[in-house]
Structure 1
């Protein structure tokens, strides 16, 4: 399995979703496309790779003799990421979830009349450093646009 190719395609696909999300003039048309063709497709790719990898049906391309990959210990998680396959699958996990959070931010910001120009920086930080972008958006929502009753809670 060519993990480098899978990594590159997933990266470009997610980036296309982010560009559409940030700059599409008609978000009500773009968001469902980005959700299904972006987050859902990446989630399917993730599932299609992690399940056979954890079942031992495909190789992660990592070095022999290392501890077995698992999610129950730090050494097991480190072993998972210590391979091209594990790192690629982990990265796809981040891509799918960060894009999902970006979709929520964009839709929520639109619903609360927050300018697209103010949304773009939070979307950028969500793409680059997921939780920081989410935190920035939640803080932005405290001060800009139509403030919901509980601005720090998802709505």
Structure 2
């Protein structure tokens, strides 16, 4: 498997490609094909995440002492290794991009204009849950019109 820095660059570039596809889709009436292409990128990232997870669990060294999900210190210990940070990063890339594809798909069904959707996608790219919240509020506003 490629080294961590190479995987980081490849995954980040792939995610940006997916977001670029979504940015173009925002202004097209026929969004479905482009949203599906961006969703495919998210699926590839999810596959890479699973491969890293399986490799880390099956072939990696034992977890650092105190690592786990029940305390903040345990999570900090869990992410004390570079490979775990890479996996976490790819997790974010895949999930945020998938959320962006859902927003674009849902906005198409609502006939929400691109000028409302695009800021939501940008915020979702930069700060996932904040972008999702902005989209949900925008969709609620758009529905009430």
TM-score normalised to structure 1 length: 0.81
What's 1:33 paired with? 37
Counterpart Cα distance in 1 of 2:68 and 2:8? 21
> Counterparts of 1:30 and 1:108 in 2: how far apart (Å)?
14
Q: What does residue 143 of structure 1 align with?
A: 141
**Structure number with higher helix proportion:** 2
The aligned residue for residue 125 of structure 1 is 123
In the alignment, which residue of structure 2 is the partner of 1:95?
A: 93
- 2:21 and 2:37 in contact (8 A); partners too: no
Q: Count how many residue pairs are aligned between Structure 1 and Structure 2.
A: 140
Structure 1 Cα separation of the partners of residues 66 and 7 of structure 2: 23
Offset of residue 69 of structure 1? 4.0
> Unpaired runs of 5+ in structure 1?
60-64, 149-155
Contact map agreement 2:64 2:78 (CA 8 A) in 1:
no
Q: CA–CA distance in 2 between the matches of 1:70 and 1:50?
A: 15
Q: For residue 84 of structure 2, what is the aligned residue in structure 1?
A: 86
Shift of 1:81: 1.7
Tell me, yes or no, if the aligned pair for 2:66 and 2:74 is still in contact at 8 Å.
Answer: yes
Where does the alignment leave 5 or more consecutive residues of structure 2 unmatched?
A: none
Counterpart Cα distance in 2 of 1:42 and 1:94: 10
CA offsets 1:4-25 (integer angstroms, 9 cap, x no match):
1111110110010001011134
- In structure 2, how many angstroms separate the alpha carbons of the residues matched to 1:52 and 1:72? 23
Cross-structure match for 1:62: none
Which has the higher relative contact order, 1 or 2, with Cα contacts under 8 A spaced 6 or more apart?
Answer: 2
| Alpha-carbon distance in 1 for matches of 2:55, 2:69 | 15
